[in-house]
Chains A and B, each alone.
Chain A
Amino acid sequence: MSRYEVRLSGAGGQGMILAGIILAESTLDNDELNVVQTQSYGPESRGGASRAEVVFSKEAIDYPKVIQADLLVALTTEALDKYGDDIKKTAVVIADSDYIDLDYNPGDGVEYYSIPIINTAIEEIGLKLTANMVALGAASHFIPDLSEEEILKTIASRVPAGTEEKNKEAFKAGKKLVSEMKS
């Protein structure tokens, strides 16, 4: 794979940066895959816009930030509005279907998935805080060369003790949301 760029965006406190870290860290044992994870956030740890970026490549990664996303995840109206156009013509866009109020028109080549990320976390998992893992699961479906097993292992090591199973479930639920739509 040459360069593959992922942007995870939402509001501060939604855990998108943690999702980005988990994506990046799940490549640790894959010697052939390079990764750079960056983030952008305001000075406060809750609220405000927040985004994590992960760039994957089998070659050396020079520029560390997303230039044009191959994959965009947006949890808020603000995020989709801000980054929705900054994507490749063949990009995948995943957006929350219930919490986004925006008349979004992706280009013709874009695969657009409007899915209930936050409500899946609330209703299916019973823990709103796992919305980031639902998003991560959905996103992981499209990123080449990632191992689900490694991601689940990384989730277990990165989320608060005691919430490992809920987070893993959330990840799987997210993945299911898009794979069902895709098939």
Chain B
Amino acid sequence: MSKSITLLLQGDEAVVEGGMAAGADFFAGYPITPASEIAEGFAEQLPEKGGKFIQMEDEIAGMGCIVGASLAGAKAITATSGPGFSLKQENLGFAIMVEAPCVVVNVQRVGPSTGLPTSPSQGDIMQAKWGTHGDHPIIALSPSSVSETFDLTVTAFNLAEKYRIPVILLLDEIVGHMREKITIPPADELEIVNRKKPKPEDNDNFYPYEETEDLIPPMPDYGTGFKYHSTGLFHDKTGFPRGKTEDARKLMDRLMGKINNNLDDIIHLEEDLNGDEDVVVLAYGSTVRSAISAVNQVREDGVKAGWVKLKTIWPFADDYVRELAEKVDRIIVPELNMGQLIGEVKRVAAGKAEVTGINRYDGTLITPADVVAEIKGAL
């Protein structure tokens, strides 16, 4: 394939196209609205390229299965929505602990519980960060269009492989189900990252969880002779359990460090700022679209407004938002929840800029008019 193709795709379908383009060769999961189209797409496409699809008995199994596949060398992905995301949390934590690269898609619907299965939400922002127990690093990305869903799926795989970590892709039902035209670039134009692997001759002195300079130890595929151990228990560089405090701290510091030392590479955002803004709308996911529309409208009335789109939700763009808060009077955070990411914005903007939210949690979107009203109300 050496030329681009244009298609009309749903966001869910763009996950499949993006995954295939990124080299995904394994999907395991369980059907759930509004994410089932992702499973259906991979079921059809993976075997065409020699990849594997398996529908598991439940969500927990889907998560365990992709971690096993990842350790065996696969580029693995699963997809779910709120109730399933809740079920996956324990094995997600395991993936973080054994540093198994994989991608977990959550097409958010309104919760809690069964909630509103076919309506959009951004209610799992905090769950993406804190859903599994204990402190841990996580990367979560959130696209706002079909085209961006393709791009961020590729990015999700690349970051997962590079940093040996599960990457969460947070769609919402709107992005997951809406159809837009998307131009898929030729395969040779995409940058694809693959995990670092040890060389066979490294076997004698091999420590699977060694504190390498970049804090990311090379990862052998199962069956290549390294015969190493991985466990969800705290462990030392050998991979075997160590309950001692200094070892526990060392492992946590390394797991956090491999992400925190590379924030510039991991945090992706876009902005439309002229530098003289009084008010900035900071948004993510489908809500971005109303933010852009509203900012364009109020600018016509002479309001000094701008917008920022966070594509990386976690780790949070602390430094960027802190600097932004120093420059503007007010930051507006529209969210399809009762106020989740706004807490992060308030934390870093404290004392510098006023931070207000626009919140909907009833399955309907925040409209451009809602955002315009909030911007004008701020003046």
Contacts and interface: CB of A to CB of B under 8 A. Distances in A.
Given A28-B6, A40-B118, A42-B118, A67 B181 contact: no
A61 B365 CA distance: 15
Interface of B: 6-8, 33, 117-118, 174, 177-181, 286, 289-290, 292-293, 296, 365, 367-369
Closest 7 CB pairs of A and B: A62-B293, A37-B179, A62-B289, A25-B8, A38-B178, A62-B292, A63-B293
Contacts of A24: 8, 179
Contacts, number: 59
A34 interface: yes
Interface string A19-39: 001001101100000111111
Most buried by A among B6, B118, B367: B118
Contacts of B118: 40-43
Interface string A48-88: 00000000000001111101000000000000000000000
Given A25-B8, A28-B7, A43-B118, A36 B367 contact: no
A67 B293 CA distance: 12
A25 B365 CA distance: 24
6 contacts: A24-B8, A28-B7, A34-B180, A36-B178, A36-B179, A36-B180
A43 B117 contact: yes
Contact of B178 (A25, A34, A37, A43): A37
Given A28-B181, A43-B33, A63-B368, A21 B290 contact: no
Interface residues of A, number: 21
Contacts of B292: 62
Contacts of A41: 118
Contact of A35 (B7, B117, B177, B181): B181
A42 B33 CA distance: 11
A65 B365 contact: yes
A42 B180 CA distance: 22
A25 B8 CA distance: 6
Nearest to B292: A62
Contacts of B6: 28
A38 B177 contact: yes
A64 B8 contact: no
A70 B368 CA distance: 18
Nearest to A42: B118
Contacts of A61: 180, 289
Interface string A71-109: 000000000000000000000000000000000000000
A15 B8 CA distance: 18
A29 to B, nearest CB: 8
Contacts of B290: 62-63
B285 to A, nearest CB: 12
Nearest to A25: B8
Given A24-B8, A25-B8, A63-B293, A39 B33 contact: no
A67 B368 contact: yes
B291 to A, nearest CB: 8
A63 B365 CA distance: 9
Given A35-B179, A43-B33, 10 more contacts: A28-B8, A35-B180, A37-B180, A38-B179, A41-B118, A62-B290, A63-B368, A64-B286, A64-B289, A65-B174
A21 B10 CA distance: 10
Given A28-B8, A62-B292, A67 B174 contact: no
A42 B367 CA distance: 22
A64 B180 CA distance: 10
A22 B368 CA distance: 27
Contacts of B178: 36-38, 64
A118 to B, nearest CB: 25
Nearest to B6: A28
Contacts of A21: 8, 179
Nearest to A37: B179
Most buried by A among B8, B289, B367: B8
